[in-house]
Structure 1
Amino acid sequence: MAVPAGALLVDALQALLTDRHASPVAVERWERVEPWAVARVWLRRSAAGLPRSVVVKWIPDGQREARTASWRLRTELAALRFLDEDLGAGLAPGVIAADTAARFLVLEDLAPRVPLDQLLRRDGAAAHGERLAAFARARGALSAATAGRAEAYYARRAALGPVDAVADLAGRHAPLQQAAIEHASALGVPLDGRVAHELAAAMGELARPGPFLALSNGDAEANNLLLHATGSADARLIDFEFAGYAHALTDAVCLYVPGPAWLSVGDPTTTGLADQYRRTLACGIPEAEDDRRYGYGLAAACVSWALVRLQRFARLDSRPPGDHSRLQLIATLEAVARTAETYRTLPRLTAWIRRVAVVLRRRWPDADQDFADSARFPPYQARH
């Protein structure tokens, strides 16, 4: 069947919902949520049990790597049904209907919730402390609810098509890390034997998470959390296209280290976000209460992210002075080192990361800034 787009999408949606509800369903209007292949669709009230509006997510006709995109759509479908139907977690939108052959999903409309990152960009982090706390709790709750349930999830996922649980555990960014090490060596900061040994052990922790094995949506950032702009901080996670089981603490990195959108995220240990996350996580993974084990896993996850970001060095080096991505890379490396120091773990890796940051500060004088200056670099300041 051809991939629906525009009027074809409307026709396919009406046909699917009519068939599922044994009653005519008509689309009243729809509104594209740019720039994604997502639309909010209002329905005429003709079928019992259907909401007034739904969200439709699809793969556009002619999209590059369409087979990969189809794989992602099936992954999202499996993850959302697993959370709702198997666990009753109440953490993500429910699936109303799906047509994997036509490559679209019909999801619960979570409006009037809005993405957290929009609120942070508009108002700053200080205005949304409780919403950031809800973000931290939601990340912990996803891991707590899904720990120990990998077999059930992969049974659902395998029913929709082939899946590679080993690749999920490694993470889609893992192949980028070797390039980061090569860049550091070219900058005069090679991995010596002791640092390499510590790095191997840290990556081994992520590859063998034990009780910390839990479902991640694969993109633990503020743009993928929807909540109310005022009043209730009731939150929902979205975007499960890259969902899979991995070390739970990879989902905590976003609280400690800048993600792609931010120059800084502040110190979650002083804002209380770290405690919010950890207490929620421990409800399903009691081992999170062990300081040594928790700190080691968190630091390992942060180091892994630092390498993913460092592999961009050559691209950033070619950009003009003042580019925010240079600031972001240095802030990222230093935040990773600070996190490991807080938990008194991975000392050699921490020193190596700090040396790389020092070299970058010297190479990019425009990025030699004081990130501790909260007036210039407030938490969740956007990267431009």
Structure 2
Amino acid sequence: MLNVVEWTRLEPWRVARARTDRDEPVIVKWMGPHAAATHSEGWRLRTEVAALRFLAEDLGVCLAPRVLAEDLPGGRMVLEDLAPRTALDGLLRRDGAGAHAERLAAFARIRGELGALTAGHAETYYRRRSLVGPVDPAADRLGRVHRLERVPHAEELGVPISGGVARELGLARAELADPGPFLVLSNGDPEANNVLVHGSGPADARLIDFEFAGFTHALHDAVCLHVPGPAWLSVQPPGEVYRRALAAGVPAAEDERRYGLGLAAACVSWALARLTRLPALDARPAGDDSRAQLVATLEAAAGTADDHRSLPRLADLCRRLAAALRRRWPDADLDFTALPPYAPRRR
């Protein structure tokens, strides 16, 4: 490891801003428990180190911080300090989306660029990743496909599942399980808190947090641009910014049918995954924003499928589930069109 002589922890994350004995600014990151609990701390550290070295050293691209040193047994790494960039979600909360149109476009662009620049390089990545520990490429690719195996709580909500819905669930599963040309590297958590931008002037965005990185369907990374993530009640679709950036390395993104199917499948997959939270949200008090956020998620997924003329029965399913939740929770029966883009969910 580099010799770090002073550091200041950046709460609440497991990172610290530090200086080396050569007076170089760096970021020290260490592993700890994660709410997902799907992978060990060691697996996540090895994955992040491998993914960041793959980008910087194998592909020679500057989309994320460089790894300067790592201590795998000790559970920590030293990264390039990307300051004065700051997390985009903080800027959106502070100023609103209207003040950061350029930074939102940069967010969409760099997500597409990550896919474009890594498409076709899965073998190179997994060769590097396997050097630091066992890894299952199929698990990376299929990790989110299980969300489409069933419709959580549909019976409880009084929403019947027709044969047409079941057929479209199968179609969506097949698309996400076999990405073909859309197989690209994702950092595994493509939300606005994991992109750093300059607060003024050119955004010059960089991506962070590759603990859950792996090659999967590119359109998983576009969901956050169309459907509210856990922190938001609304988002602002970026037009064609993401798609154009992705198409530079994945020409199949120009195919309207294939792109629309992948995006609709990924958005519905995310929305149904969030529906598993129904029992927890039932237990929360009326007015809790998490309830409204789930309704907004389902309706946004339906709207995205409609916009791309894909998976109409799954779009209708999401609308019916959202309508059932509006009846179940009158406090969540809101007009989301009246909200500004990136309206934050209150904790």
Letter in 1 for 2:341: P
Query: 1:44 offset after TM fit, Å?
Result: 3.2
Residue 95 of structure 2 is aligned with which of 123, 142, 163?
123
SS at 2:337 equivalent: coil
Q: Given the superposition, is the C-alpha separation of residues 141 and 65 from structure 1 closer, same or farther in structure 2, using an over 3 Å criterion?
A: closer
Please state how far the C-alpha of 1:60 moved relative to its aligned partner.
4.9
Separation (CA, whole Å) in 1 of partners of 2:298 and 2:32? 37
Q: Which amino acid in structure 2 is aligned with residue 214 of structure 1?
A: V
**Corresponding position of 1:382:** 344
Q: 1:228 aligns with which of 198, 203, 222?
A: 198
Q: Give the equivalent residue in structure 1 for 2:58.
A: 86
How far has the Cα of 1:143 moved from its partner?
A: 0.2
Residue number among 210, 219, 229 corresponding to 1:259 in the alignment = 229
User: 2:314 aligns to what?
Assistant: 349
CA distance in 1 between counterparts of 2:53 and 2:309 reads 40
| SS in structure 2 at match of 1:30 | strand
In the alignment, which of 42, 45, 51 is matched to residue 19 of structure 2? 42
How do 1:277-292 and structure 2 match up within 5 A?
277-292=242-257
Match of 1:198 among 155, 162, 168: 168
**Distance across 1 between alignment mates of 2:326 and 2:229:** 20
Structure 2 gap segments, 5+ residues each: none
- Structure 1 residue ranges (4+ consecutive) displaced by more than 3 angstroms after TM superposition: 63-67, 173-178
**Aligned counterpart for 2:218 among listed residues 248, 259, 262:** 248
Which secondary structure state, in structure 2, belongs to the residue aligned with residue 96 of structure 1?
strand
Q: What are the superposed Cα offsets for residues 43-71 of structure 1, whole Å, 9 maximum, x if unpaired?
A: 232xxxxx62110111259x997970110
CA shift, 1:99, in A, is 1.2
Q: What residue number does 2:30 align with?
A: 58
Q: Is the 8 A contact 1:136 1:274 kept in 2?
A: no
Change (3 A) 1:282 1:65: closer
Q: Which residue of 2 aligns with 1:208?
A: 178
**Aligned mates of 1:60, 1:317 — CA distance in 2:** 30
Matches of 1:370 and 1:338 in 2, distance apart?
15
| CA spacing shift, 1:101–1:125, aligned 2, 3 Å | same
Q: Identify which of 17, 41, 59 aligns with 1:69.
A: 41
How far off is 1:317 after superposition? 1.2
Show the counterpart of 1:186: 156
CA shift for structure 1 position 352: 1.1
Give the C-alpha shift of residue 181 in structure 1: 1.6
Task: Give the structure 2 partner of residue 359 of structure 1.
Answer: 324
TM-score (norm 1): 0.87
Alignment of 1:324 with 2:277, yes or no, is no
Match of residue 136, structure 1, among 91, 108, 111: 108
Gap change, CA 1:56 and 1:128, over 3 Å in 2: same
Following the alignment from structure 1 to structure 2, what is the Cα–Cα distance between the partners of residues 60 and 205?
34
Letter matched to residue 235 of structure 1 = A
The alpha-carbon distance between structure 1 residues 263 and 81, as it changes in their structure 2 partners (threshold 3 A), is: same
Please give the alpha-carbon distance, in whole angstroms, between the structure 2 residues aligned to 1:244 and 1:285: 17
Which letter maps to 1:225? V
User: Do the aligned partners of 1:176 and 1:311 also contact (CA within 8 Å) in 2?
Assistant: no
Identity of aligned residues (%): 62
Q: Separation in 2 of the partners of 1:220 and 1:26?
A: 30
- Mind listing any 5+ residue stretches in structure 1 that lack a counterpart? 1-15, 18-24, 46-50
Q: What is the one-letter code of the residue matched to 1:103?
A: G
- Give the CA RMSD over aligned residues: 1.8
Contact 2:152/2:275 (<8 A) preserved: no
Higher Rg of the two aligned structures: 1
| In structure 1, distance between residues paired with 2:279 and 2:295 | 14
- What TM-score results when the alignment is normalised by the length of structure 2? 0.96
Q: In structure 1, how many angstroms separate the alpha carbons of the residues matched to 2:297 and 2:11?
A: 29
Instruction: Name the amino acid aligned to 2:344.
Output: A
